[in-house]
Amino acid sequence: MQCIHSAQLVLLDRILENAWIRFDAGRIEDFGQGKPPDSVESFDGANRYLAPGFIDIHVHGGNGSDFLDGTPEAFLTIANYHLSRGTTSLCPTLATTTYERMKDVLGAWEHVRSTSTAHLLPLHLEGPHLATSKAGAQDPALIRAATDENISWLVEHAAGISQMTCAPELLNGLSLIERAAKAGIVLSAGHSEARQPEAQAAIERGLTKVTHQFNAMTYAAKSGLFRKPGLAEYALVEDRLSCELIGDSFHVHPTLMKLAYGAKGPGKLALISDALAGTGLPEGSQFMLGKLRCKMGPGYCLLADGSALAGSATCPIDQVRIMTSAVDVPLVDAVRMATHTPAKLLGIEHKCGEIQQGKAADFVEFDAQFRVHRVWAAGTLAHSN
């Protein structure tokens, strides 16, 4: 039995001062305030915050590697980097690629997930069934509508796929959503020209989420005499949809971040890193996103020619800090958006995502300046500064 004491436990609805938490065999046993019970091994929390480990459902890479590299070494490099920043669970996310490459990366995930200290959740496929007009930093040469063969492959391999981002308005888009959702994949609208009617039709067939709210989607525009909502506005008022948010203040201005938080609340807004291979590298470093050359800017990633943003260079701990400082979100809500909400989106909230008896002993310890000090994964001290 292990115990962390003298900590500030970040719960779903409050912060528990002068608290302790005991855990054993990778699960939380109990927690409380005041003098801790006897334990075999004890850690002094030094009055720092202790939150559930962050769960990143949209992350492409870090520390020079991309999940599209498709090697066990790349998977572990990325996982270990994000683990050091407090992310204990992550969905390896693939930018638009070929189905042949997807098969290779899925094989690498199956090979390496049991050896990773961080929890490598099933993959998030961001493409290739997207709108070319909303490609952003996706390779337009590889974007296309889904075929019946593609959809059948996705259904067959659903156990290794947590989510798929697609454009519902494409040919076979609704069939893709319906069949993949029935197979257990979370379907998300993104890089899309869809508006309210297309989104409503997709929701009826199983769509539950939008990818990186405010980015690569439609906005309100006039149709004839009247102005009608785009996906960006409709997602904020549709209770059946949850939203990802890149809370780095670059992809989304703090005013829009505040709008999203006010509209969706912490229970339906999930912070995502959308981190690329350049995350953790010095400014000016160059790296690849599939076949696209990118570079590190001052706190963000962009295409090498500087024409567009290309994913984030932040981690959930950075976004929790930004949400509390720039958007004035309570710490408990900011942490919830990086832990319990993404777990709920994936349907794994019964196992992880909050400090509760019986749930995973995945913790991140950080101070008032949001510096990560220690990280536990499945009850094991996995990182310490």
Catalytic residue among 56, 69, 274, 318: 274
Token pair belonging to 53: 């480990």
- Is the CB of residue 247 less than 8 Å from the CB of residue 261? no
CA distances from 20 to 38, 332, 355, 372 (A): 11, 18, 11, 19
CA distances from 116 to 93, 98, 111, 160, 343 (A): 16, 26, 10, 16, 19
Residues 6+ apart with CB under 8 A from 45: 4, 5, 6, 7, 8, 19, 365
* Sign of the torsion formed by the C-alpha atoms of 24, 29, 33 and 34: negative
CA distances from 284 to 137, 227, 296, 300 (A): 18, 42, 5, 11
Instruction: Read off φ and ψ for residue 111, nearest 5 degrees.
Output: -75, -40
Give the integer Cα–Cα distance in Å for 354 and 195: 35
Give the integer Cα–Cα distance in Å for 360 and 379: 8
Token pair belonging to 239: 């209770």
- The reply to whether 274 belongs to the active site is yes
Q: Which residues are catalytic?
A: 274
